Amino acid sequence: MRLDPNFSTLPSARRRKEVLEAHNQVESRLASAQDSLKRADGQALAKHPYSENAGLKVTRTTSGAAEAVVTVTEEARHLNGYKPKIAHGGLVLTGLDTVAGVAAETLCDQAGKIGVTTGFDHMRFVKAARTGDTLNFRAQVVETNDGNDKPQIIAAASNQKGELVAYSLVKAQIVNEEMFLAV
């Protein structure tokens, strides 16, 4: 799945090009990634019960990238209330949030650190997902700060035909797990 190079919601043409190039590289990186689902420090990734309850399954990771999949069913948890064959946007956003958070978490190189998403910029739904669609979610870190603890991530969802369903530039942060759980 390639992002449309003409989308115009990011701040500059240069930035759009950088984001697109980085995201388009994720396919080859994930294709060669091991299915071990490990962090940089070798620990297993955290479980994501909310995402799993929605039917999402994280399938691959590599440093700074993640992939997940879900098939839209006719179950109420997947559909919006207005059009019975259309997936709820919350399901799509959950997938984007999950892969972005996992991509951030793959950067964790110390025990006690976790990756969390902190914001979605330029979130766009491009095409409706429908019952029977298999949604593929991919995320790629495209920028980090000097401390490598505030990654920016491009996350995108496509259907089984490779058609873009949604995308967002996601901000994340690597935090101490104790501090995060104490909030």
CATH code, domain with 103? 3.10.129.10
| Structural domain boundaries enclosing 22 | 13-182
- The pLDDT of residue 149 is 85
Model confidence at 9, pLDDT cuts 50, 70, 90, reads very low
Q: Are 17 and 26 in contact (CB under 8 A)?
A: no
Model confidence at 119, pLDDT cuts 50, 70, 90, reads very high
CA 7 – CA 97 distance, rounded (Å): 20
Q: Are 26 and 136 in contact (CB under 8 A)?
A: no
Asked whether residue 6 is assigned to any structural domain, the reply reads no
Asked whether residue 5 is assigned to any structural domain, the reply reads no
Work out how many domains the chain is built from and give that number: 1
Eight-class DSSP state of 133: P
Residue recorded with tokens 């990186």 = 29
